[in-house]
Structure 1
Amino acid sequence: MDMETGNNPSGTDSLSEAKADDNFLQDFYSELKGAEDEAESEADTASSQPFDSEEDASAEQPNEGSEEDATTEEDEGSDEEQPDDEQAGEQTTGPDDTTEVEVDGSKVTLGDLKQGYLRQSDYTQKTQTLANERKQFEQATKQADLHMRDEYVKHLKQAQQLVQQLVLPQEPNWNELAQEDPGLYVQLKQEWDSKKAGMDAIRNQIASTEQQNQLRETELLKQQQAEAAQELVKLHSDLVSEERQDGQTETRGQNELNSLWKYGSEIFGQDLMQSVADSRYLDVLRKAQLYDRMKTQEDQVKQKVAKKPALAKPGAARASTTATKEGEKKAKQRAWKSGKASDADDFFAQILSKQ
């Protein structure tokens, strides 16, 4: 046994080495298999990661695109709205003060034109106010002058009476004095004549002043009456006398004024009418004249209608009658309200048209 064992030592070693090699190969194969599995796992992971990043990128991209699209839409919306704002600005914004226009062959800016208009308007208003104040001042001055002259005449008369009582108490009998004392007669006669001349001068001054006062009062009254007539014409256009195309002056307005004067003289008397210098009184008088004239014409129309027989047709349209009466009523109210002779004529023309 020992010989066989001793004789085959290399066989045992070879078997052991074969087993060891076999175990090494199994371990190596296991490690290699694990490495391959890890490599495949990493490859799978690497191949799946780009796909995930692309999904993330594609998931994020719509958000960026939506923001850009929203910004673009807002810009486009603002661009679309901007022309409306510009058009609105063009519609509301007019020419400014620097715009030049041509006036009487010269170019001026609207600003200068506005300033010129304001200055002209202010100048016209101030001129009108100044004219009214001057007119009032002139009338007040004339009234004061007349009052002072009246006072002056009054004092002259008082001085005349006083001088006559003190200086010339009573004229002596010159014939008797000349016979009794010729020398005294001459002396007293000279003194008397001198004093009498002074009294005559005072008397003449009083008469002259009174005459001047009368003329001034008449002139002032005429001026006031002329101004009152102008104010009355402004209130009643039918009193205006216009110039015709042939150069002649229309006399209708003057004729109406003359008829108004005659109407007032018949009611108040000529003396009182000559002293009227207030347009308010004349306005009331004119309205009364037009009313009386309208009543007279209305009475005349009623008399004419009463003389004619009634020709009523059976079944006549009531609407026409109602419209006619309504037109007459309006015409009458218009004539009464305006006080114009033309409106009164229209009213009576409607009445006469039914006949």
Structure 2
Amino acid sequence: MESESNNLETGTALSLDEAADLISQTLDVSEDSFVEQPDENVELPEVDEVVEAPETDETPEEEQYFDIDGNQVSLSEIRSSYMRQSDYTKKTQEIAEQRKYYQENQRDINTLRSEAMQGIEALKHQISIEFRQMEYPDFDYLAENDPGEYVRQKAQWEKREHAVRQIYDAENALKQKAAAYEAEQHQAQIQETSNRFFEKYPDLKDRTKADEVFSDITGLLMETGFSEPEIKSIADFRIIDLLYRVVQAEKAQKAIPNVIEKINKKPVISAKENSRKTSADYDRQSYEKFNQSRSVADAAALIKNLL
């Protein structure tokens, strides 16, 4: 005899068979809902080709030339360059809009995934109650004494087991999709942070300098006790910017003893030479200013004078 329990969401009675059918229907809908369309328009179009003007029978006007950085450039070349740049800018803006739409669409899909996960959790709870309340059929007895009932209950039980497998498979698939979405969002944030960082510090676009800076930042985090996963999870521009400034300040502080030693080794200036200020005078003034303020800016100015 099949038992019944209250549906968690509606409060109506729901048999195990009905729960199994509901699971199958839910999974079928979810499967179709989460088919993500590839973003076919994210590649930059080629803009190197120049659109040629149609041929006419009119006599062409004399070409005008302009001096640009010592080079003679024709008016037609300037116009073609402008058209290419204008077209490139337009295409870039279109692509930016497409990417924005794609990201918003992905957020909507991820929201649907979250809602589906909640529904799956409710169904899992419901079906677990049903299984606990019913006895496992004695298939050996039924096969020997009531073959017809054996076939019916066997098919019914296999249907329920199939529904359980479906729900767990769907749960795992949704978790994988959600994890992929989080990774994609994290990568997008890293790219945005990178763009903002190099825009603020253009001199670090040099690969050698950038590698040194990020190595110093990583070393600082590891010394502070951050684990490798924690370091890789940092993608906020504000945090990266703050870490960079801390590293730079620490470097300036470590250089101060050498600077002081260098100043102390400066030769004594004779009275005759006092008629005008020398580089040593400026070095000492910088040192005295730093000694009073102890600021990173004054330390950097002092180090710069001594280089």
Q: Normalising TM by the smaller chain, what interval?
A: 0.5 to 0.7
Q: Provide, for residues 72-120 of structure 1, a one-character-per-residue CA deviation record: whole Å limited to 9, x for no partner.
A: xxxxxxxxxxxxxxxxxxxxxxxxxx762359xxx9974x566555544
Quick one: which amino acid aligns to residue 164 of structure 2? M
Q: Which residue of 2 aligns with 1:258?
A: 215
Cα 1:173–1:122 change in 2 (3 A) is: closer
- Answering whether residue 99 of structure 2 is matched by residue 135 of structure 1, we say yes
Question: CA–CA distance in 2 between the matches of 1:158 and 1:133?
Answer: 38
Query: Relative contact order (alpha carbons < 8 A, sep ≥ 6): 1 or 2 greater?
Result: 2
Question: CA–CA distance in 2 between the matches of 1:132 and 1:279?
Answer: 21
Residue 205 of structure 1, aligned match among 160, 170, 191: 170
Instruction: Tell me the percent identity.
Output: 14
Question: CA–CA distance in 2 between the matches of 1:135 and 1:296?
Answer: 45
RMSD between aligned residues:
4.4
Cα 1:300–1:324 change in 2 (3 A) is: closer
Q: Which residue of 2 aligns with 1:297?
A: 255
Shift of 1:264: 4.1
Shift of 1:207: 0.9
Q: Provide, for residues 267-315 of structure 1, a one-character-per-residue CA deviation record: whole Å limited to 9, x for no partner.
A: 583444433333333223212221222122225645x569x78976775
Stretch deviating more after TM superposition (310-319 or 254-263): 310-319
Shift of 1:210: 0.4
- Answering whether residue 183 of structure 2 is matched by residue 218 of structure 1, we say yes
Q: Provide, for residues 307-334 of structure 1, a one-character-per-residue CA deviation record: whole Å limited to 9, x for no partner.
A: x789767757483343224566999x9x
Question: CA–CA distance in 2 between the matches of 1:109 and 1:238?
Answer: 35
User: Residue 124 of structure 2 aligns to a residue in which SS?
Assistant: helix
Maintained 8 Å contact 1:100/1:109: yes
- Answering whether residue 120 of structure 2 is matched by residue 156 of structure 1, we say yes
Shift of 1:208: 1.7
Cα 1:268–1:114 change in 2 (3 A) is: farther
Question: CA–CA distance in 2 between the matches of 1:286 and 1:228?
Answer: 13
Maintained 8 Å contact 2:216/2:247: no
1:1-355 equivalences in 2 (<5 Å)? 100-101=63-64, 110=75, 116=80, 119-166=83-130, 168-172=131-135, 183=146, 187-242=152-207, 251-264=208-221, 266-267=223-224, 269-270=226-227, 271-299=229-257, 301-302=259-260, 304=261, 315=271, 317=274, 319-320=277-278, 321-326=280-285, 348=303, 350-351=305-306
Cα 1:129–1:264 change in 2 (3 A) is: farther
Q: Provide, for residues 203-249 of structure 1, a one-character-per-residue CA deviation record: whole Å limited to 9, x for no partner.
A: 1111122022212322331233133223312322343245xxxxxxx
Maintained 8 Å contact 1:99/1:109: no
Maintained 8 Å contact 2:213/2:244: no
Shift of 1:127: 3.4
Quick one: which amino acid aligns to residue 275 of structure 1? S
Q: Which residue of 1 aligns with 2:26?
A: none
- TM-score, length of structure 1 as denominator length: 0.50
Shift of 1:198: 0.9
Maintained 8 Å contact 2:197/2:241: yes
- TM-score, length of structure 2 as denominator length: 0.56
Cα 1:114–1:309 change in 2 (3 A) is: closer
Identify, as 1 or 2, the structure richer in helix: 1
Quick one: which amino acid aligns to residue 253 of structure 1? A
